[in-house]
A and B are shown apart, each in its own frame.
Chain A
Amino acid sequence: MIVPNRENLRRLAGDQWQKLRRQFDDLEALRRRLDYQTYLLAACALIASLLLGIGDLATQGAIARRQAEDLRATLGQVLPPALYDNDVLSNPKLISSAGEATGFDPTEVYLAKKDGEVTAAAFKVLASGGYAGPLTLMLGVDRDGHILGVRVIAHAETPGLGDKVETAKSDWILKFTGRSLDNTSPQGWRVKKDGGDFDQFAGATITPRAVVGGVQGGLKFFERHRQALLAATD
C-alpha cells in the first residue's frame, strides 16, 4: 500500500499552482485559448447562479411577508372587520376543479369567522376578456351570497380609460356592494350597453364588461360551493 507522502503532495500542489499562476502572466496568450474562454464563461455562469441563490435566500422571507401584508390590506377592504375575529389569512380553504369559474385552480378561499361560525368568504377571481389581458379581482361575499366588496388587485388596462376600475380613480367598483345572484337577474349582470344594470365608462366598455362577467362568475362559484364552505370548521 502506498502511503501518501505529505511533503511530496504539498510540493506537487505548489508546482501546479505556480504553473497556473505563470499562465496568467501572459494574459494575451491565455485569452486566446479556447479552453480558457470555456472555463471563464462557465465560471461566470456559476458565480452568477451562486449569487442569485444567495440573493433569493436573503430576500424570500421579506418578500413573502410583504406579499402577505398586501393580501391582508386587500382582504380588509372586501371584508368588513366587524364580521370576523379569526386570522383570515392563516388557513385558506383550497377548492379544486374550480378553474373554469374563477380562473384559478385551486382557488384559495379565505374564510371570515366569528365565534367559530363562517360569516363571509373572500377569494380571487380572474376576470377574462379585459382590453389588455385578464384582471385579477378580490371578491368578498357574505354567507347569503351578497357581495361585501370587490377590488381589482392587478390589471394592465389603458391608463385614463380602463383604469377607472381602481378605487383610486373612480368609485365605480363600489356599486357591486349588496348585489347577489338573487337580487340581480342574469340579464342584469351586464353593462348598460348590453342591456344590463351596470354603467360602462365613456370610451371604455370592454373593461367594465370583463369585470361584471368576472364578478358574476365568482358569485356562481360561491353558490356552487356554498354548503361546503359554510360548513368548514378548523
Chain B
Amino acid sequence: MSESILKLAKEGLWSNNIVFSQSIALCPLLAVTGTATNGLGMGLATTAVLMACNALISHGRELIPPEIRIPVFVVLIAMIVTLVDMAMNAWLHELHKVLGLFIPLIVTNCAILGRAEAYASRKPPAYALVDGLMMGLGFTLALVVLGAAREIAGSGTLFANASQLLGQSFAWLDTQVIPEYRGFLLMALPPGGFLMLGFILAGKKILDKRLAQRPIKATAIERSLAENI
C-alpha cells in the first residue's frame, strides 16, 4: 500500500495533476484565484468533497450498474456539496462569507465526477480515499500557486486576509511582497488568470522536458526510493 500511496501522491501532485496535466476544472480555478488565500480555501473545500465522494462511490461501486452510474454519481456529489455548503454556513461562517459564492460551484467541478468515474468506481475505498486526498491536494497546490502568482503580480501582496480564513494565528502569512506597488489590474481579472495559467503550464512543460533529458539519474532516484520502501 505504501508504495502505491507514493505513486498516487506523485500522480495527484505532479504527473497527473488535475489542472497542470489534465487541464480540467478551470472554471472554479480562474474564478477564485484572485488571491492565494481564496485559492487555499477553495482547494481545501474541494479536497474534502473529493475525498467524501471518492470514498462513498468506491463503497457502492459493486452495486452501481454502469448504465446509470452518471446520474447516481451526480446525485451523490450534489448531496455532499450541499451538505458541505450548509455545514460551512452554520459553523465556519467567516470562511463561508469569503468562499460562499464558490462552494456551490464545486458541483460543476468536472474533476470530482472525473475521479469518481476514472478511479473510485474501480478501486477499493482505501485507495479511492487516498486518491481523492492526493488529487485534492494537487488541485489545492495549483490554486495556491496560481493565486499567489496573480496576487503578487496584481496587487503586490501575498496571502492577504489569511487570518480571515485560518484564524488570527496565521496573520503572519499576510505579507506585502512589493511595497508601494500601484497594482496591475489585468492580473486580478479572469483574463489575467488565463495568462498566468499559460505561463505556469509552459514552465511545467520546460521542467518536465529537463527532467526527461536526464533519464538515468531520474530512474536511479526512483529505484533507490523503491528499495527504501
Interface residues of A (CB under 8 A from B): 27, 31-32, 36-37, 40-41, 44-45, 48, 51-52, 55-56, 58-59, 62-63, 66, 69-70, 158-161
Q: Which of A27, A58, A161 contacts B63 (CB 8 A)?
A: A27
- Contact present for B82 and A52 (CB under 8 Å): yes
Is B51 in the interface zone, CB < 8 Å from A? no
Q: B60-86 CB contact bits vs A (8 Å, 1 = yes)? A: 001111111001100110110011001
11 contacts between A and B (CB under 8 A): A27-B62, A37-B67, A40-B65, A40-B72, A41-B71, A44-B76, A51-B79, A52-B83, A69-B93, A160-B188, A161-B185
- Contact present for A37 and B87 (CB under 8 Å): no
Please give me the residue from chain A that is nearest to B65 by CB atom. A31
- Contact present for B72 and A44 (CB under 8 Å): yes
Is B90 in the interface zone, CB < 8 Å from A? yes
Bound Cα distance from A48 to B107, whole angstroms: 15
- Contact present for B154 and A160 (CB under 8 Å): yes
Neighbouring A residues of B86 by C-beta, 8 Å: 55-56, 59, 63
- Lowest 9 CB-CB distances: which A-B pairs, in order? A62-B90, A59-B90, A31-B65, A48-B79, A66-B93, A59-B86, A55-B83, A160-B185, A37-B68
Q: Which of A36, A63, A160, A161 contacts B90 (CB 8 A)?
A: A63
Q: Which of B63, B66, B89, B155 contacts A59 (CB 8 A)?
A: B89
Most buried by B among A32, A36, A51, A63: A63
Interface residues of B (CB under 8 A from A): 34, 62-68, 71-72, 75-76, 78-79, 82-83, 86-87, 89-91, 93, 97, 154-155, 183, 185, 188-189
Known: A31-B65, A63-B90, A158-B189. A51 touches B83 (CB 8 A): yes
Please give me the residue from chain B that is nearest to A203 by CB atom. B185
Bound Cα distance from A32 to B87, whole angstroms: 37
- Contact present for B87 and A59 (CB under 8 Å): yes
Neighbouring B residues of A36 by C-beta, 8 Å: 65
Please give me the residue from chain A that is nearest to B93 by CB atom. A66
Bound Cα distance from A51 to B84, whole angstroms: 12
Neighbouring B residues of A55 by C-beta, 8 Å: 82-83, 86-87
A154 CB, nearest partner CB in chain B, Å = 10
A51 CB, nearest partner CB in chain B, Å = 6
Please give me the residue from chain B that is nearest to A161 by CB atom. B185
Please give me the residue from chain B that is nearest to A158 by CB atom. B189
Please give me the residue from chain A that is nearest to B66 by CB atom. A31
A162 CB, nearest partner CB in chain B, Å = 11
Neighbouring A residues of B155 by C-beta, 8 Å: 160
Bound Cα distance from A62 to B155, whole angstroms: 36
Bound Cα distance from A31 to B75, whole angstroms: 19
- Contact present for B154 and A32 (CB under 8 Å): no
Neighbouring A residues of B76 by C-beta, 8 Å: 44, 48
Neighbouring B residues of A62 by C-beta, 8 Å: 90-91
Bound Cα distance from A160 to B184, whole angstroms: 9
Neighbouring B residues of A58 by C-beta, 8 Å: 90
Neighbouring B residues of A66 by C-beta, 8 Å: 89-90, 93
Bound Cα distance from A13 to B17, whole angstroms: 52
Please give me the residue from chain A that is nearest to B154 by CB atom. A160
